[in-house]
Amino acid sequence: MLRCKTPDRVKKEIAIHLLAYNIIRGNVAQAAGLHDKLPRQLSFRISFYPSLM
């Protein structure tokens, strides 16, 4: 759910959400590479806590 009300702020909020998503996906890909797995085999939690593997 977007919290902004003006069109410019909505665009900015969407851009920030996309940036955060891409950073998280990058972390997942990095964690997958470290453990010889495909990124889709990992969960969100494991991307930040690789010791759970």
pLDDT for residue 53 = 56
Give the integer Cα–Cα distance in Å for 37 and 49.
Answer: 15
Residues in the chain, overall count: 53
Residue-wise pLDDT for 1-39, tens only, equals 778 889 999 999 999 999 998 998 898 899 889 989 998
Other CB atoms within 10 Å distance of the CB of residue 34: 10
Structural domain boundaries, residue 37: 7-52
pLDDT at 6: 93
Neighbours of 10 (CB within 10 A): 13
pLDDT of residue 40: 87
Rounded to two decimals, the pTM is: 0.69
What is the widest separation between alpha-carbon atoms in the chain?
45
Cα torsion angle, 38, 43, 49, 53, sign:
negative
pLDDT of residue 22: 92
Q: Which pLDDT value is given to residue 48? A: 61
Structurally, the chain folds into a number of domains equal to: 1
